[in-house]
Amino acid sequence: MDELIVSLSRWQFALTTIYHFFFVPLTLGLSVLVAIMETQYVKTGDLIYKNMTKFWGKLFVINFAMGVVTGLVQEFQFGMNWSEYSRYVGDIFGAPLAIEALLAFFLESTFLGIWIFGWDKLSKKMHLISIWLVAFGSSVSAFWILVANSFMQAPMGFVEENGRLVMNDFWALVTNPNVWVQFPHTIFSGFTTGAMFVIGISGYHLYKNQNNEFFTKSFRLASLFGILSILLVILIGHSQGQQMIKTQPMKMASAEALWNSEDPASFSLISIVNEKEKKDIFSFRIPRILSLLSYNQFSGKVEGINQLQDYYAEKYGSGNYIPPISVTYWAFRAMVGSGFLIFFIIALILFFVLRNKDIFKFSWSRFIPFAITLPYIANSSGWILTEMGRQPWVVFGYLKTADAVTPNLTVGMILTSLIGFGLVYTGLMVADIYLLAKFSKGPIFQEEAEESEISYWESEI
């Protein structure tokens, strides 16, 4: 298979997927936060919660639209660029995608439409249920797409028949241990993203001393929600690492730049490697810590890149089974680093919030909005680690990425689509950020009383 075709297709898949995943986590998190705000409104009748629901809801809708349309590309792309993959695993992989559409996409899209347009057409309760269904639908969608992805990481529930993989146990697909670490890790990362988003924008206003009550309430809610979410992300991320050691030891070895097996194994604090000659240029490692992370004890063997390469070459035939080490190594660090940074920032904020102290009298608090970028870095680098660390496989142990590509593609075709998506996506990103910035700055619609109700959406038109 032509190498250029493979790499162009990979670039296209990577760029469109990372782009898509800029919007998904915020949808996951913000939908729940908006639903909590509206719940407060319905419970207390306090209009400030209604205004909060509408303010954050508007930002949610702008973001949601981008997630939906870029998601279309994902479903089409498996067939367009990866037809051999689709033929080989379609029997298994197609099912969760179809189920995702049927169970999640219909729910999300229908009830979001009802929610946006239904403020004065539905009872308060029904309107509230709509946003909860949107939030629920988003999480259901995450579940099924991760069932599909987990199959690629740790294939289960199938047999090989006539050169194709055929499902023989749907239950095994759904109960794949990989799903049950990957799904909560992703969901809570999404929740963290939503929390950081609300914290950042509220922080911007609070620092400028604007709309104090409105944003203080948002800020407090988001920091509580955020601390729980990021704690769960970190805890589950730890289990995920232990799962990875079992199913994809090469991913762990390369994320740690561990050339040779060690027992007890050391954790790399910083390594600069020469990938070609398979050696460190510079490395500083902390003894025993990788064993600790892998097995919750200070000893235990972690396989190294060289040993795994030999093992795979024997098992699957000669070839290079080492993923790009610098990419996985730094992606891992970017993910974990920004994850912990988020944790410390939210913990610090909460320290002030819980004691009712004003954090915004400190001048450094004006940097809080910049922390919004952290979850985006963590989300993207997490997926880069997950997907790049699996290379050269697309379905671990069964199908290599190079064998998955569509055979009748030409370089011209892929360049056309790659450049086309690139241009359109860039343009949309500019428009999206423009609108998000515009509506983040306000105005905050102040609804005075139920009688004079004017829908928020029209307030500034």
Partner 1 sequence: MTLNTIWFLLIAVLFIGYFILEGFDFGVGILLPFVGKNDTERRMMINTIGPHWDGNEVWLITAGGAMFAAFPQWYATLFSGFYLVLFLMLIALIIRGVAFEFRSKDENPKWRTFWDWVIFIGSFIPAFLWGVALTNFIRGVPIDANFHFIGNFWNLISGYSLIGGLVSLTGFTLQGAIFLSLKLEEQFAIRINKIARKLWIPNIIAVFLFAIETYFLTDILDRLGVNPGFVPIAAVLSLLTVGWLVYQNYNGWAFFINCLAILFSTTTIFMILYPRVLVSSIDKNLSLTIINSASSPYTLKVMSIIALIFLPFVLGYQIWAYWVFRKRITSNKESLHY
Interaction with partner 1 in 58-117: which residues (CB under 8 A)? 61-62, 64-66, 68-70, 72-73, 75-76, 78-81, 83-84, 86-87, 89-95, 97-103, 105-107, 109-114, 116-117
Query: How far apart, in whole angstroms, are the C-alpha atoms of residue 344 and residue 337?
Result: 11
Minimum distance of partner 1 from residue 13's CB (angstroms): 14
Distance CA 166, CA 184 (A): 27
Contacts of 211 (CB under 8 A, 6+ apart): 205, 442, 444
Residue recorded with tokens 């963290």: 192
Query: 378: Cβ–Cβ under 8 A, 6 or more apart, which residues?
Result: 189, 334, 335, 338, 339, 342
Q: In Å, how far are 78, 188, 460 from 166, measured between CA atoms? A: 18, 32, 55
Least distance in Å: CB of 166 to partner 1?
A: 5
Q: Between β-strands 267-274 and 279-286, what pairing exists: parallel, antiparallel or unpaired? A: antiparallel
Nearer to partner 1, 72 or 313 (CB): 72
| Token pair recorded at residue 388 | 């790049």
Length of the chain: 461
Q: Which 12-41 residues touch partner 1, going by CB under 8 A?
A: none
> Which residues ranging from 149 to 178 are in contact with partner 1 (CB under 8 A)?
161, 166-168, 170
Is 142 a binder of partner 1 (CB under 8 A)? Answer: no
> Does the footprint of partner 1 cover residue 45 (CB under 8 A)?
no
Q: Which of 15, 341, 435, 445 binds partner 1 (CB under 8 A)?
A: 435
For partner 1, which is the closer residue by CB, 122 or 348?
122
The distance of closest approach from Cβ of residue 122 to partner 1 in the complex, given in angstroms and rounded to an integer, is: 7
To the nearest whole angstrom, how small is the minimum distance from the Cβ of residue 414 to partner 1?
9
Q: Is 242 in the site for partner 1 (CB under 8 A)?
A: no
Q: Tell me whether residue 26 or residue 66 sits nearer to partner 1 (CB atom).
A: 66
What pairs with residue 267 in β-bridges?
286
Nearest to 168 by CA among 117, 92, 237: 92
**Element (DSSP H or E) covering residue 451:** none
Please identify, using beta-carbon distances, which residue of 64 and 383 lies nearer to partner 1: 64
Question: Is there binding between residue 366 and partner 1 (CB under 8 A)?
Answer: no
Question: Which of these segments, 268-276, 289-297, 319-327, 402-410, binds partner 1 (CB under 8 A)?
Answer: 402-410
Residue 360 CB, shortest distance to partner 1, in Å, is 29
- Stretch 253-272: interaction string toward partner 1, x if CB under 8 A: --------------------
The reply to whether 367 sits near partner 1 by the rule CB under 8 A is no
Judged by beta carbon, residue 330 or residue 457, the one nearer partner 1 is: 457
Q: What is the CA radius of gyration of the chain?
A: 24
CB of 425 to partner 1, least distance (A): 8
On the 0-12 / 13-18 / 19+ scale of CB atoms within 10 A, 216 is middle
Tell whether omega for the bond before 324 is within 30 degrees of 0, i.e. cis: no
Q: Work out whether 429 is an interface residue with partner 1 (CB under 8 A).
A: no
User: Measured from the CB atom, is 134 or 368 closer to partner 1?
Assistant: 134
Rounded to an integer, what distance in angstroms lies between the CA atom of residue 86 and that of residue 98? 14
Q: Which is nearer to partner 1, 82 or 180 (CB)?
A: 82
For partner 1, which residue of 231, 439, 442, 447 counts as binding (CB under 8 A)?
A: 439
In the complex with partner 1, which residue's Cβ is closer, 101 or 313? 101
Q: Which is nearer to partner 1, 65 or 289 (CB)?
A: 65
Q: How far is the CB of 402 from partner 1 (least distance, A)?
A: 16
**45 or 113: whose CB is closer to partner 1?**
113
Per DSSP, helices labelled H in 159-274 are: 170-174, 177-207, 212-247, 249-255
- Binders of partner 1 among residues 121 to 140 (CB under 8 A) are 121-122
Angle value at C-alpha 105, between 22 and 433, nearest 5 degrees: 25
| SS3 assignment, position 328 | helix
Answer for the pair 215, 206: CB distance below 8 angstroms, yes or no. Answer: yes
Tell whether omega for the bond before 155 is within 30 degrees of 0, i.e. cis. Answer: no
CB of 170 to partner 1, least distance (A): 5
Q: By the 8 A CB rule, do 151 and 125 touch?
A: no
